[in-house]
Each structure stands twice: as C-alpha cells, then as structure tokens.
C-alpha cells in the first residue's frame, strides 16, 4: 500500500510535508508558511530554513532533524516493534508516533483512518501509573497500544503523562504530555535520586525553572520532570524547541564529541552567539562550570537545546538531565571536551577560562567564580535523598573547591 505524505504542523498550523521513503524522504515547506514567516525563516529549525525548493546538499541535515525526534537504543527498538516497522524507517515511526513529540510539532498522515485526530487524555490511578513504570519496557514512553502517539528522544527508560489538577492522565492521540517520569534503573539504582539532587543546583543557579521531584506510586519510586516545552498558555499547549544534535546536524552517538567530531561546546557557543546573543552564551558557561563541578559527564548535544520564542527569538533552553555521575561505572570522560580536555578529573579553572575565551566571552572569571561559590554553598546546605549516592555533597564540594583553587577538579582534597 502506498502511504500518503506526512503533514508537519507547528503550533497547530501546517508548515510543510514530509514526502518520500525512509531512504529518500525530504521536507517541503508550505508556500503559505514561507509567506507567513519569511524566506529562510528558522521558525522550524536552524537546520531546516523555510525555502521554496529544497536543495539536494541540505537533504541530509533535514532528514537528520526529523530522525532525531525519535528515541534511541532499545526504546527505539520496542517502539518500532510495536509499530510493525523497521527501526530505521523514520517515516513509518513518525507516522505512528509523531502526534506528541518534542517542541511544538505534530506529524501525521492524513490518510490514516481517524485523522485528523481528536486528542484526549485518559485518567490514571496511582496503581496504573505504578504499573506503567514497572512495565516500561512493555509500554515504552507509556504509549497505549491503540492511541499511543508519543515519541521523545533519549536512551533512558521513561514514560510521559499529563498532569492536571493533581491527577495523572495518559496522553491519547496526540494530547500534549506535560511530565516525564523515570523509574529506577536496575543497573544504576541511585541514578534518578542523583538526578533529583543535581536538579536542585540547576534551579538554584537559574539554569532551570521547571519542577523536578521524587514520588512513589504504590511503593514504585519515580523521578518526575515537568516538561519545559509544554505550557497551557501556549497555542496548542506546546512550546517549540530543538536540541543541538538537530541544530548542528549530528546523528545518534555523534552527540558525543569523540564520536564523529561534529559537535563541541565551541560550536554550540558559536551558534548561540549568532542566533541567541550573549546572555545565552553566558548561561552556557554557567552550565558548563556547574556540570564540571557536579561531575555531570553527560552534557552532550541532546541535553542542550534551543528554545524558540515568539517573533523568531532563540535562547538556550533550560538545563535538563543534570546528573552527578562520576561514581558510576565509566571512563570518566566528558561528553564534550573543555579546552580540548575530556578527562573530568583533570579539568581545572584554567580549562574553563580558556574554553570561555575561545567562545569570545571577554570576562568569564566572575561567572566561573560565582558559579563555583554557589555550588559549594548549596553542597554544604543540601542533602540528597537517602537512596542517592550519599557521598555526593562531599564529592561536589571537593570538585568545586579544587576548581576554585586552580587544581584539577578530581584531585583528592588536600593534595597539590
């Protein structure tokens, strides 16, 4: 059966179509959208400007933008199995799951029975939420086998739900989900509790304004994260965003600088300088300093995003997935090098300063010093959840104090 082209909507208005097979598909902007937003508008993506005739040279980046809307790893495998399509069939996957994706997009096939959908939500009891968390591998992202239309990038198991008036609902047929719920990871049992602790630092430093908290559903613990790309005041309840893998044309594991060399902090900063302005670049530096001080090794380009505002404005999105993790198994390397240094334990204040200087920030010292001081103060005041890695406050204080004193941040306290 020949399937129809997919409609691409932005904030409830058609902006274009996806046409072609998974090998050859491309995005074709709606003429009315070009007229409305302007030729070469970046309203959809900095990687996908609105043009009347798509150029062959830009097709890979356009394809990558839409591919990166899908999850990774085993979650992608499970969703593909449920949809009955190969994992590499981006068009088939978006046909099934494109109704509730990151940002203000909805993607759907007008020839699928029941389209256009009437999105709705389905109330969930505490026991039902607990069951979704416990069986997340059977119900990836919490999708119903009939009516589940959600896709969200990332590797870690999670479900997405709607929260309203202190009740939880399942998103059906593209209703905008509002919260991400992460269950305990069997191989890393402290991770969600460590992430909650890290989120406190991001909020205290003004790098995140959404809520993150721990809760139990019939004794099943979960980390609950409010989605910053959802707002009931926004048209269609969605706020548009794109991650820096999409913006920079990085695919899959190329989100790590060592794997493909398509991404770096400098490239992120360059794009922010060009499109968002100095305030966003300074926030990127504050987030980089915080990540080193916390031991957040996973600051990659899927965890860095651009937030699209009204009138075409762009800013660095709130900090997401800030997790202290140097105590977890791994090579101890940063996802994105700081002044060409990947080894977290070897990063110094000078590395941070040199990295910022390479971005063109003329006076990075106050930002670095203020961030480190705030991290030390908070690490002295706050205690993590009992199920978190209990050495986190001590380790974070050591990292931050070493950085402030000019030592490698992983140097044991008291040694030169």
Chunked into runs of 10 residues, the chain (416 residues) has average pLDDT values of 79 96 93 97 97 94 97 88 93 94 95 90 96 86 57 74 94 93 92 97 98 97 97 92 98 94 96 97 98 97 96 95 93 96 97 98 96 98 97 97 96 48
Q: How far apart are the first and last CA of the chain?
A: 69
Residue 239 near residue 176 (C-beta atoms within 8 A): no
Q: Is residue 172 part of a domain?
A: yes
In terms of domains, do 264 and 291 share one?
yes
Cα separation of 383 and 390, whole Å? 8
Please report the pLDDT score of residue 149 as a whole number.
43
Cα separation of 111 and 94, whole Å? 14
Please report the pLDDT score of residue 144 as a whole number.
62
In terms of domains, do 104 and 150 share one?
no
Helices (H) and strands (E) in the chain, counts: 12, 15
In terms of domains, do 250 and 347 share one?
yes
Closest CA to 227 of 174, 155, 152, 173: 152
- For residue 352, the enclosing domain spans 240-404
Burial 351-361 (b: 16+ CB within 10 A, else e): bbbebbeebeb
Secondary structure of the chain: what % helix, strand, coil (to 5)? 35, 20, 45
Domain boundary among 191, 226, 261: 226
Domain boundary among 167, 194, 226: 226
In terms of domains, do 163 and 259 share one?
no
In terms of domains, do 177 and 274 share one?
no
Please report the pLDDT score of residue 415 as a whole number.
38
Q: How many angstroms from the chain centroid is the CA of residue 403?
A: 27
């Amino acid at each position: 059966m020949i399937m129809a082209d997919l409609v691409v909507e932005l904030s409830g208005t058609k902006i274009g179509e996806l046409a072609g097979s998974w090998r050859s598909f491309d995005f074709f902007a709606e003429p009315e959208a070009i007229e409305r937003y302007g030729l070469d508008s970046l309203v959809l993506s900095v990687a996908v400007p609105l043009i009347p005739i798509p150029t062959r040279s830009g097709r890979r980046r356009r394809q990558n933008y839409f591919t990166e809307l899908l999850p990774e790893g085993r979650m992608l495998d499970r969703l593909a199995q449920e949809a009955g399509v190969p994992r590499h069939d981006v068009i088939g996957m978006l046909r099934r799951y494109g109704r509730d994706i990151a940002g203000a997009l909805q993607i759907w096939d007008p020839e699928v029975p029941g389209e256009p959908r009437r999105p709705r939500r389905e109330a969930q009891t505490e026991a039902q939420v607990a069951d979704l968390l416990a069986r997340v591998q059977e119900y990836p992202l919490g999708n119903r086998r009939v009516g589940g239309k959600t896709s969200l990038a990332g590797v870690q198991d999670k479900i997405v739900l709607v929260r309203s008036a202190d009740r939880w609902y399942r998103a059906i047929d593209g209703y905008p989900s509002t919260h991400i719920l992460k269950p305990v990871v069997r191989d890393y049992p402290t991770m969600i509790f460590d992430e909650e602790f890290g989120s406190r630092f991001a909020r205290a430093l003004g790098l995140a304004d959404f809520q993150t908290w721990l809760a139990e559903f019939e004794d099943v613990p979960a980390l609950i994260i409010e989605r910053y790309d959802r707002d009931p005041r926004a048209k269609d309840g969605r706020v548009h965003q794109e991650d820096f893998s999409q913006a920079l044309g990085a695919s899959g594991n190329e989100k790590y600088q060592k794997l493909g060399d398509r991404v770096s902090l400098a490239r992120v900063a360059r794009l922010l300088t060009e499109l968002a302005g100095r305030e966003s670049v300074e926030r990127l530096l504050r987030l980089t300093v915080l990540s080193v001080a916390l031991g957040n090794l996973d600051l990659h380009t899927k965890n860095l995003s651009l937030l699209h505002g009204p009138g075409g404005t762009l800013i660095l999105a709130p900090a997401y997935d800030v997790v202290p993790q140097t105590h977890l198994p791994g090579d101890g390397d940063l996802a994105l090098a700081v002044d060409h240094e990947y080894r977290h334990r070897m990063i110094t204040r000078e590395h941070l300063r040199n990295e910022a200087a390479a971005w063109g920030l003329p006076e990075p010292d106050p930002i670095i010093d203020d961030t480190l001081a705030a991290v030390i103060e908070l690490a002295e005041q706050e205690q993590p959840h009992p199920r978190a890695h209990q050495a986190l406050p001590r380790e974070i204080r050591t990292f931050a104090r070493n950085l402030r004193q000019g030592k490698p941040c992983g140097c044991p306290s008291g040694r030169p």
